[in-house]
Amino acid sequence: MTWLRSAEPGESKSEGQTPHRARGLERALLITGVAALGFNLRGAITSLPPVFPELQGSLHLSAATVSVLAATPVICFGVVSGFAASLSRRLGEERVLLAAIVALAAGLALRGAAPDALLFPGTVLAAAAIAVMNVLLSSLIKRRWPERAGLLIGLYVTALSVGAITASLVSVPLWNGTGGSVPLVLGWLAGPAALAALLWLPQLRHSSAAVPASSRAGSVPVPQRTHRVAVHRHPLAWQVTAFMGIQSLLYYAVLSWLPEILRDRGDSAGTAGDLLALMGAGNLAVSLIVPVVAQRMRAQHALIVPTVAAMAVGLAGTVYLPLGSAVVWVLILGAGQSAALSLAIFFPMARSPHAAAAASLSSLAQAVGYLLASAGPLEVGLLHSATGNWNVPLAVLFVLNGALLVAGLLAARSRTLPAAAAQADGGS
C-alpha cells in the first residue's frame, strides 16, 4: 500500500486513496512504531557508564578493556551503517527494521545471560542492530510521511532521549537493589526491545523492496532500490558526514566518561548517574522543537551556532565549575547535544532529492561518521590512562567543538544533492 498518496489517472479511488479513518490508524501505528524503535536506540549504551567501575571489578576487566567496551558500539555503528541501505534496497526498510530490533533484543539478552563469555559478542550484535535502525529510520520517515518529517524526527529523537534517560537512571539502583547482579544490569533492556518488535509488526504491510519511479510531472526521478545512489561524489555529502561524525564523537566521548569525571571530582556513583540522566533531560528540552524549526528553514545556520555553543559551554561548566552548579550545565550540554543529533539526522533527509538518496546519504554519513566517532570514547579513555588526569582529553574535545561549528555551517546551507545524485551508480 502506498503511503498517503492520491489516486493516479486511471486508478480507482479504492486503489489510490486510503479512507480517512484508515489513514489515521496508519499514522498512529507509524508514530507508535517509530517511537518504540527510537526508545531502544541508546539505552544499551547509556546504561553502562554509570556502573563501569562496578562492572570492571565484577568481571575483572582492565581499564583498557573498559575503554574498548565504551568504544565498541560506535565502532559497530561505523562498520555496519554502510550495509544498511543495501539491505533496505533488497528487503524493504520495514522488514530490515524489524530484523534489527529483534537482533537488538537478542544481543542484550545474550550479554546478560553469559556476561563472562558474551559481553562483547552481545554488545556487538546489539550495536549492529542499532546502526541499521540509525540509518533507515530517517529515510523511512522521508518516504512514508515527508510533509511531517520534522515532527516525526522530533518524536523519534524524543523517544531516543527518554530511552537514554531511563537506562541511565535505572542502572545504579538496579545494581544496588540486586546486590550487584551483572546479568540483570546487562540484559534488562532486552524486554523493551522485544516489546518494540511487537509494536513494529503492523509496518510490514507497507514494506516494499523497490521504490517506484514517480509519474508526476516535474518530479525528481527515483532510482530503483537495486542500485546505489552515488552521493559520495558530492562535497555536500561529505560536509553532512563530517557534521554527523564530529557531533557523534563528542556525544559518545562525554556519554562514556562524564560519570567517571564527576566521580573523580567527588560525586557519588548515584549522583553521577543522575547527572547523566539529567543530561538526557536536556536532550528532551529541544528534541521536538529543533527538527520542526529546521524543516521550516531554507538554511539552518541560525540553529548551528547556538547548538555548538551550548555543547561547549555546557561541558566546560560541568567539568570545571563547582559541582553544585552541575545541574544547570548538564542541562545546557544535553540541549546542545540533542540539537546537534536532530540536525545530524535531519540533514541527510533535507539535502536529498528523494528517499533512496536519503538512505544512501544517511548510510554514508553514519558509516564514515561513526568510524570517526569511535575515536572519541577510546581517545578519552586512553589519554586519561596515559596522563592520569582529564585535562588533555577535555582540551581535545573543545578543539573538536570548533571543527563541529565549521562542518555545521557548511552542511546547513540551502542546497540539495544535484540531479545527478539520482542516477544509478551501477552497484547493488
Alpha-carbon gap, residue 108 to 113, rounded angstroms:
9
Tell me which amino acid residue 17 is: Q
Write the pLDDT tens digit of every residue in 259-287.
Answer: 889 999 988 888 888 888 788 788 787 88
Lowest-confidence range among 39-43, 94-98, 168-172, 392-396? 168-172
Sign of CA dihedral 383, 387, 392, 393: positive
pLDDT at position 229: 61
Write the pLDDT tens digit of every residue in 280-330.
Answer: 788 787 888 999 999 899 999 999 999 999 999 999 999 999 998 999 999
Tell me which amino acid residue 90 is: R
Write the pLDDT tens digit of every residue in 118-137.
Answer: 999 999 999 999 999 988 99
Alpha-carbon gap, residue 305 to 282, rounded angstroms:
17
Cα–Cα distances in angstroms (integers) from residue 136 to residues 73, 104, 140, 226, 334, in the given order: 17, 15, 6, 16, 24
Contact 340, 251 (CB under 8 A): yes
pLDDT at position 426: 38
CA-CA-CA-CA torsion for 22, 28, 34, 35, nearest 10 degrees?
A: -170
Tell me which amino acid residue 346 is: F
Q: What average pLDDT does range 385-402 have in this prediction?
A: 93
In degrees rounded to 5, what are phi and psi of residue 217?
-65, 135
CB-based contacts of 74, cutoff 8 Å, min separation 6: 127, 248, 252, 370, 373, 374, 376, 377
pLDDT at position 206: 82
Q: What average pLDDT does range 98-123 have in this prediction?
A: 96
Write the pLDDT tens digit of every residue in 11-37.
Answer: 444 444 557 787 888 889 999 999 999
Alpha-carbon gap, residue 185 to 113, rounded angstroms:
11
Alpha-carbon gap, residue 27 to 9, rounded angstroms:
25
pLDDT at position 252: 85
Closest CA to 147 of 245, 5, 47: 5
CATH of domain 21-211+221-422: 1.20.1250.20
pLDDT at position 226: 40
Alpha-carbon gap, residue 61 to 40, rounded angstroms:
26
Q: How far apart are the first and last CA of the chain?
A: 25
